Chains A and B, each alone.
Chain A
Amino acid sequence: MLAAFPHAIPLEGLIGGLMIGVAAALMLLGLGRIAGVSGLAARATGIADSGAPRGIAVAFVVGLPLGALIISAITGGIETRFPPSIIPLIIGGLLVGYGTRLGSGCTSGHGVCGMSRLSPRSLIATAIFMASGFVTVALMRAGGVL
């Protein structure tokens, strides 16, 4: 089906996506909250004053590396190919941190939770950050830094 894209892992993607969706559904139906990682991370660290109770935010954020560790242990290790230089990590991190606070969400809050809610605000945000990501990587490719 995806012979044209030999690097794709559609089945793992779909199953992992279902896991992410069930996790977000658990936050929504269990705690009445959006599983938005940028907002919960800002709340867990105290950078944001309002939002989920601190304990809930900390528990969710601590779960993220824990879950990755469990999958890594079960499957014998997962691939994490980071940029070879620290510079894109620093610039990227600063932009992601500032941008997700200004725009009130990231791939999880606006993307997974907001789009499935058909929230106009989140549909617009997701369309913009996707477009911005496509353009940024295209410019990196054109500039020879990818």
Chain B
Amino acid sequence: MKQLLVALLAGTLFGAGLAFSGMADPARVQGFLDLFGQWDPTLAFVMGGAMIPMALAWIVQRRLDKPFADAHFSLPGTSLIDRNLAIGAVLFGAGWGISGLCPGPGLADLAINPLPALAFVIALFAGMIAHRVTS
């Protein structure tokens, strides 16, 4: 129960941050990727802002034996750089540019602009399923 509340609080704060920062607005995100148009640097400020608490959190993490509300850390490796990572990132970046959306804003926008957000989210899950059945 405590774990679910922590996850819900984290997700809610994450969604609030996306909305407050303008990152739930696909045109603004696309504006950051649009170097040859009216470039909008806002996304860089969002990334920079998010780095600050997370850089501190990684320093704290190294001194902890276990997280506050769970039995152990379950963290991915940091060194594997392979073909899948590179091709996946190319495809993701292309979809991000075409739509102005990545998974977080797509899901957050279900509450703000449900119809177009739902079209994106359905396609998002269809793409995930396509990966699952072909790998």
Interface residues in chain A, defined as those with a beta carbon under 8 Å from any beta carbon in chain B: 2, 5, 7-10, 12-35, 37-38, 41-42, 45, 47-48, 52-53, 55-57, 59-72, 75, 78-83, 86, 88-104, 106-108, 110-117, 119-122, 124-126, 128-138, 140-141, 146
Contacts and interface: CB of A to CB of B under 8 A. Distances in A.
Contact of A128 (B19, B51, B86): B86
B5 to A, nearest CB: 8
Interface in B29-58: 30-31, 33-58
Contact of B21 (A17, A66, A115, A134): A17
Interface of B: 3-28, 30-31, 33-58, 60-61, 64, 66-70, 72-81, 84-104, 106-113, 116-117, 119-132, 135
B133 to A, nearest CB: 10
Contact of A12 (B20, B91, B106): B20
A20 B50 contact: yes
A81 B19 contact: no
A116 B54 contact: yes
A78 B128 CA distance: 28
Given A79-B22, A96-B92, A38 B103 contact: yes
Nearest to A70: B16
Contacts of A18: 17, 49-50, 52-53
B78 A47 contact: no
A110 to B, nearest CB: 8
A95 B94 contact: yes
Query: Which 10 pairs of residues, A with B, have the shortest CB-CB distance?
Result: A103-B88, A17-B49, A63-B11, A97-B127, A16-B21, A92-B99, A132-B93, A93-B123, A67-B15, A95-B95
7 contacts: A24-B57, A47-B125, A66-B12, A71-B20, A117-B58, A121-B80, A128-B90
A136 B47 CA distance: 21
B74 to A, nearest CB: 5
Given A30-B67, A86-B116, A95-B94, A17 B48 contact: yes
A63 B112 contact: no
Contacts of B30: 137, 146
B33 A134 contact: yes
Most buried by B among A29, A70, A110, A131: A29
Contact of A83 (B26, B80, B106): B26
Contact of A21 (B22, B49, B60, B99): B49
A71 B109 CA distance: 12
Contact of A137 (B34, B56, B61, B85): B34
